[in-house]
Structure 1
Amino acid sequence: MTANAELLGRYGDSLLGVFGTPALVIERGEGCYVWDADGKRYLDLLAGIAVNALGHNHPEIVGAVSKQVGEVVHVSNFFTTRAQIGLAEALLKAAGAPDGSRVFFTNSGTESMEAAIKLARRTGRPGIIAAQGAFHGRSTGALALTAKAAYREPFEPLLPGVKHIPYGDADALAGALTPEVGAVVLEPIQGEAGVIEPPEGYLQRVRELTRMAGVLMIVDEVQTGIGRTGDWFAFQSTGIVPDAITIAKGLGGGVPIGALMTFGPEVSALLQPGMHGTTFGGNPLACAAGLAVLATITRDGLLENAIRVGDAFAAAVVALEHPLICGVRGRGLLRGISLTEPIAPAVATLARDAGFIVNPVAPDTLRLAPPLIITAAELTTFVDALPALLDAAAA
């Protein structure tokens, strides 16, 4: 019996089966590569689903976390730390947030969305508009905004007052903005739906409509934020200023941390002392990791790398002119390879056997969200292998 098989057997005997059976037991990582329990190496083109922004075992994260462990790991939110204050300031600067903007730290994207829901409820209007195809988390509040029926139906009835409209359809949004609606919650690129981009000008139109209606515009940047699309946050490429954004995934480079950021004094004043809280949110260990991630992205030009390498990758995949590839969606280093047949799961399995980790986010779409440090040469190894993987999956 292999080490992977033995450990996966123990996994099945001890962990709740909500994830099914994992494909591998990962033992260690270095840069953009990971090794399983049997010593096999894989190019990690998913990065923990857009989490490991600096790859694995990055010296800046290792150093920052090690230093913080030697000082203080946790304090209650009766107090604060230099790391917490510093990270909040760095995020506000990265977002170009106006005066009066604020940050609330959480431990995950789901928790960030729960805070955003409470922010929306503070408008006095309980209705929330979300999009078809949306994914915003799996806690009961966030799940009400998530669109996938298989996730929702076992736990209904969920939070009332949520309406789902077609993503990218500004006319549908205009028709749904009734006096009961307090917020519109959207992803700037839908990740779990298959890396779906809205039409040009859509987010700008959403901003116009929500302002006219006096409704909050909340942008879910959990997957798209922290440099993933080549900007610090994906909304920035549109020129809009939302009322709030949710952040997580890449922020800690693998250490659990998330945030809700409110823009401007009026929105920031909606949540007053005692209205929300968290035990671990903003702990100095996670904030130290976040500071290391932001500083390294800036120092090493990783925003520019995401655009340069991501665009080159997309062009190289299209240039294959393979009959099973019909395009590449997304921006920066969040990409979906669109296939003409529903063979993405088979391709992902074959890719893993060949030493590549990718995600069949939809039956006809392969999602890649590699570390922001990835090189064109590393991505080329996957592009070169892709035609044979597609042919084998379709055979």
Structure 2
Amino acid sequence: MTSVDMRTPGALEEAERYTAHNYHPLPVVIAEGDGAWVTDVDGGRYLDFLAGYSALNFGHRHPELIAAAHAQLDRVTLTSRAFVHDQFADFCRGLAALCGKELVLPMNTGAEAVETAIKVARKWGYRVKGVADEQAEIIVAADNFHGRTTTIVSFSTDPDARADFGPYTPGFTVVPYGDLEALADAITPNTVAVLMEPIQGEAGVLVPPAGFFAGVRELCTANNVLFIADEIQSGLGRTGKTFAIEHEGVVPDMYVLGKALGGGIVPVSAVAADREVLGVLKPGEHGSTFGGNPLACAVGVEVVKLLETGEFQRRSAELGERLHTSLAKLIGRGVVAVRGRGLWAGVDIDPALMTGREACERLAERGVLVKDTHGSTIRLAPPLVVTGGELDHAVAQLEAILNP
């Protein structure tokens, strides 16, 4: 490919010509990344305030993570789970300790981890709780986002994710997010799990009402139901704690993890739970060729080490307060509402001014990359290595497009 071919318009046209339209990307073609910044093929620099939907919590090309990947590339990258490699135990032990659980099952993508959690919960229901065959029920929240597999979209309430992909998988009950009474009413003797996001990211960074998840935990315990926390986007430092559910003073029976677990280098996901839960799986009942591969585990080991220091959780908490204080000053000045925790914010733009997509395009022109969702809402999720000055700059660009 020549240098002329690499210019932004040509690269965008090529992507449009040869790629199925499952995304609607902004007109930016990224060539390099470093920390909280990316550079496009024309040399333009941007603050990355999407961070790969939280997959880049540690920034682009974090030196310790890159070093771990480089070292492993020179040794062995894939063995399959037919064998045990020398990075596997270190990763699983470290992640289990970080989660406070006895067992870990590594997979690849977040959706794959959610599918794993669903299978485990159902089998636990049959083998441990004693639910009759084929009768297991899992309760989820409206406006959820847990992935886009056929099973997962079966309990989505987003028409774009769900329409035209039926027939849908049965066995799921949807209740309003944050409605404890509705949840209590939905539990039956066949309920095996409640699967929810501690903060709903795709829905616009929706924070639950105070006490909601404490109530969820009580209901699950009282009814012998597993509480599964989907921390794929919200976990691993994003909200100022290792897991967002910690803000609620709650410990789930199962964590579903992904995105940042791969350090922005390789897809890594996992389910973590105690032996009574994950121990229901037996050889041959679930698997993944690439799940827990040596390269993924080598990176994952370093991710766990970074989180064990507490540095990134502290940065997210401290800088998140700065971010939310700045964003709150824009309410009534082009912003209708702001939600979130730590370095994660959902910002509702006044729809009379512009759509969320238009806001993203105008911010990109000013060197800040964010992502819209649901009309006039945009999401801010910078890497946890962002500086206070970079946060201030990004908010200033938001203010500039809202109040030109």
Instruction: Mark yes or no: TM-score above 0.5.
Output: yes
Match of 2:366 in 1: 354
- Relative to structure 1, is the Cα distance of residues 323 and 290 closer, same or farther in structure 2, using a 3 angstrom cutoff? same
Matched-pair contact (CA < 8 Å) for 2:228–2:254: yes
CA distance in structure 1 between the aligned counterparts of 2:27 and 2:297, rounded to whole angstroms: 31
SS in 2 for 1:134: coil
Alpha-carbon offset, residue 322 of structure 1: 4.4
Q: What SS does structure 2 have at the residue aligned with 1:17?
A: coil
> Aligned to 2:144, which of 125, 134, 152?
134
Q: Deviations over 1:241-296 (max 9, x none)?
A: 2111110011111121101112x222122222221000000011011112222223
Query: What is the aligned partner in structure 2 of residue 340 from structure 1?
Result: 350
Question: Secondary structure of the residue that 2:399 maps to in structure 1?
Answer: helix
Q: How far did residue 90 of structure 1 move?
A: 1.5
For residues 70 and 257 of structure 1, the distance between their equivalents in structure 2, rounded to whole angstroms, comes to: 20
Q: Secondary structure at the match of 1:128?
A: strand
Pair 1:28-2:40 in alignment: no
Q: Secondary structure at the match of 2:116?
A: helix
The one-letter code of the counterpart of 1:374 is V
Q: Are the aligned partners of 2:35 and 2:60 in contact in 1 as well (CA < 8 Å)?
A: yes
Contact 1:117 1:141 in 2 (8 A): no
> What residue number does 2:388 align with?
376
2: distance between equivalents of 1:298 and 1:92? 12
How is 1:325-336 mapped onto 2 (pairs within 5 angstroms)?
325-336=335-346
Is the counterpart of residue 306 in structure 1 residue 321 in structure 2? no
Q: Distance in 1 between matches of 2:24 and 2:339?
A: 28
Deviations 1:332-387 (A, max 9, x none): 11211233326322111100011000111232322011111111111100112222
- Structure 1: unaligned runs, 5 residues or longer: none
- CA deviations 1:123-151 (Å, max 9, x no partner) are 13421111110001011122223321221
Q: Aligned residue for 1:273? A: 283
Alignment of 1:238-277 (within 5 A): 238-254=248-264, 255-262=266-273, 264-277=274-287
2:350 and 2:310 map into 1 onto residues whose CA distance is 37
Contact 2:254-2:271 within 8 A present in 1 as well:
yes
Question: Following the alignment from structure 1 to structure 2, what is the Cα–Cα distance between the partners of residues 228 and 221?
Answer: 10
Please say which of residues 273-282 and 13-22 is displaced more in the overlay: 13-22
Distance 2:308 2:229 in 1: 23
Using the alignment, how far apart are the partners of 1:89 and 1:126 within structure 2? 31
Aligned equivalent of 1:217: 227
The alpha-carbon deviation at position 391 of structure 1 amounts to 3.0
**Structure 2 residue matching 1:383: 3-state secondary structure:** helix
Change (3 A) 1:385 1:162: same
| Pair 1:49-2:53 in alignment | yes
Farther-moved stretch of structure 1 (253-262 vs 5-14): 5-14
Moved more, 222-231 or 22-31: 22-31
- Secondary structure (helix, strand or coil) at the match of 1:27 reads strand
What is the rounded CA distance, in whole Å, between the counterparts of 1:372 and 1:388 in structure 2?
Answer: 24
Which amino acid is the alignment partner of residue 362 of structure 1? H
Identify which of 89, 92, 95 aligns with 1:91.
95
Moved over 4 A (4+): none
Q: Distance in 1 between matches of 2:165 and 2:402?
A: 37
1:64-213 alignment runs, 5 A limit: 64-97=68-101, 101-122=102-123, 123-124=125-126, 125-213=135-223
TM-score, scaled relative to structure 2: 0.92
Q: CA deviation at 1:48?
A: 0.9
Shift of residue 300, structure 1, vs aligned partner: 7.1
Give the aligned CA root-mean-square deviation in angstroms.
1.7
State the partner residue of 2:67. Answer: 63
Q: Which residue, 353, 360, 364 being the options, matches 2:376? A: 364
- Percent identity for Structure 1 against Structure 2: 38
Whether the aligned pair in 2 keeps the contact of 1:8 and 1:22 (CA below 8 Å) is no
TM-score w.r.t. the length of structure 1 is 0.94
**Mapped partners of 1:171, 1:300: distance in 2:** 36
* Shift of residue 321, structure 1, vs aligned partner: 5.0
Per-residue Cα deviation, 1:14-54 (whole angstroms, up to 9, x for no partner): 22222245532210111110011111100001111111111
Q: Which amino acid aligns with 1:256?
A: P
Contact 1:7 1:25 in 2 (8 A): yes
**What is residue 4 of structure 1 aligned with on the other side?**
8
Contact kept in structure 1, 2:333 and 2:402, CA below 8 Å: no
C-alpha distance in structure 1 between counterparts of 2:10 and 2:349, whole Å? 35
